[in-house]
């Protein structure tokens, strides 16, 4: 494990033990339909286009919702493992 990552995680864990109310985080996402199946999702300061591939009637301007779920599950496992 990277030493600076270990120190950071240790500080976060200790802070949560000392202040359990700070261990709660609220996440939100806002999205709107742009055109056809193309939507744009806003997550904090990030935005991502979500669309279906052409063979499913979209314009392929971004990953589709199922691909995003799969990516979320995979990256969640990776981050949890690293932590």
pLDDT of residue 78: 95
In sequence order, the 6+-apart residues with CB closer than 8 A to the CB of 25 are none
Segments making up each domain of the chain, as ranges? 3-82
Beta carbons within 10 angstroms of residue 5's beta carbon:
11
Q: Looking at the domain covering 3-82, what would its CATH class be?
A: alpha beta
Structural contact between residues 34 and 47, judged by C-beta atoms closer than 8 angstroms: no
Give the pLDDT band (50/70/90) at residue 1.
very low
Q: How far apart are the C-alpha atoms of 29 and 43, rounded to whole Å?
A: 5
pTM, rounded to two decimals: 0.76
**Mind listing the pLDDT tens digit for each residue in 3-61?**
566 678 888 888 889 999 888 889 999 999 999 999 999 999 999 999 999 999 999 99
């Amino acid at each position: 494990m990277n030493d600076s990552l270990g120190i950071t995680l240790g500080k976060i864990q200790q802070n949560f033990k000392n202040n359990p109310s700070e261990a709660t985080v609220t996440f939100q996402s806002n999205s709107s339909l742009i055109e056809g199946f193309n939507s744009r999702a806003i997550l904090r300061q990030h935005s991502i286009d979500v669309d279906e591939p052409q063979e499913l009637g979209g314009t392929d301007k971004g990953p589709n919702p199922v691909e995003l779920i799969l990516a979320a599950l995979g990256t969640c496992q990776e981050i949890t493992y690293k932590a």
